[in-house]
Copies of this chain bind each other. A is one copy, B any other.
Amino acid sequence: MTRLTLALDVMGGDIGPRITIPASLLALEKNPRLSLLLFGDQQQISPLLKDCSKAVLDRVQIRHCTRVIDNHQGISYALRHSKGTSMRLALEAVKDGLAQGCVSAGNTGALMGLSKILLQPLKGIARPALVSMIPTMGKGKSVMLDLGANVECDAENLYQFAIMGSIFAEHRLNLVYPRIGLLNIGVEEIKGHQFIRDAANLLEKSTALNYIGFIEGDLLLNGKADVIVSDGFSGNIALKTLEGAAKNVLSLFNEQPKQHYLKPVFSWTVRHLFQRGYQRLKHINPDEYNGASLIGLNSVVVKSHGSANVNAFAQAIADAAFQARLQFPEKILAGLARY
């Protein structure tokens, strides 16, 4: 296997280098064929690399820049003032062929906008989309898109999301003819926004796509569909609601008494009694699913949660490496020709 280089915007996210640099080192340790270009403030980055082994350091290059796109900036303002920012420079490195993919935990709107301008949508794609995997209760995964890149959508956009999601699921989840569901507020054909019903009509006519109908929010975790398609607004609401519910419930079960003379007995009993439940609770931990991908672009771009911890950001880097190695953009382009 050949070497792979990713460009990282290490200034993005709620915390910045103190998360993204340890995460980068973790990703490099786990993947010896990976190299990283770190775009950000050298003064903040360098001290975080000082305990690092030479084998890892050899695969890191810092590209110093001090400008950062703020999370609170509107998209158009952010784009106009993006020159020299860590996010833009990272994307430009991909554009210039210096890296095969980009990871950022920064402003989603700006990342989307800049990616579209610098890396361009794939031929035939009107709107790239934000896609991620969500866990299912049966230990499987589903693919869900759009998760917030496109607030306003029409039926044609949803139809393209379904195509891209289907191809993504084929390769990411190793599925044949993935089942596609449209997120809606009922399963009857009269339910929901007109553009969703129109998208359903388009999908029903396609024999190449395995469209199975509407899916409601309460069945998102149940693996009823391999690909869940929605507009970016509803998709984002649903995903964040899922994440919040999962994190809250997991937190309840982390509230074990810290000191208790029966703790060893407790731990043993709980492990045995609830092993299955626990494994599956762990399986729905949002940290395991960090990294939404912008698909429909000519290169791999992965957006990490702004609040990602070290493991979660490392997961996003690993995901970008996986997609770049498998040449996902080329796979989607080839798939588009089939539909």
Contacts and interface: CB of A to CB of B under 8 A. Distances in A.
A244 B219 contact: yes
The main secondary structure of chain A at its interface with chain B is helix
Contact of A185 (B237, B248, B252, B281): B237
A290 to B, nearest CB: 13
A240 B265 contact: no
Interface in A59-81: 71-72, 74-75
A221 B248 contact: yes
A147 B237 CA distance: 13
Nearest to A283: B252
A233 B277 contact: no
Given A256-B273, A257-B273, A265-B269, A237 B74 contact: no
A322 interface: no
A332 B291 CA distance: 45
Nearest to A249: B249
A31 interface: no
Q: How many copies does the complex hold?
A: 2
A193 interface: yes
A3 interface: no
Given A252-B280, A269-B266, A151 B236 contact: no
Contacts of A75: 190
A51 interface: no
Q: Which of A183, A237, A238, A257 has most chain B Cβ within 10 Å? A: A237
Given A185-B148, A190-B75, A240-B217, A274 B245 contact: no
A217 B239 contact: yes
Contact of A245 (B241, B253, B257, B273): B241
A120 B280 CA distance: 48
A220 interface: yes
26 contacts: A109-B190, A137-B251, A152-B193, A185-B232, A185-B237, A193-B233, A216-B237, A217-B237, A217-B240, A218-B240, A218-B241, A218-B243, A219-B244, A220-B241, A233-B234, A234-B237, A238-B241, A245-B245, A252-B277, A253-B277, A255-B276, A255-B277, A262-B269, A266-B269, A266-B272, A270-B270
A29 interface: no
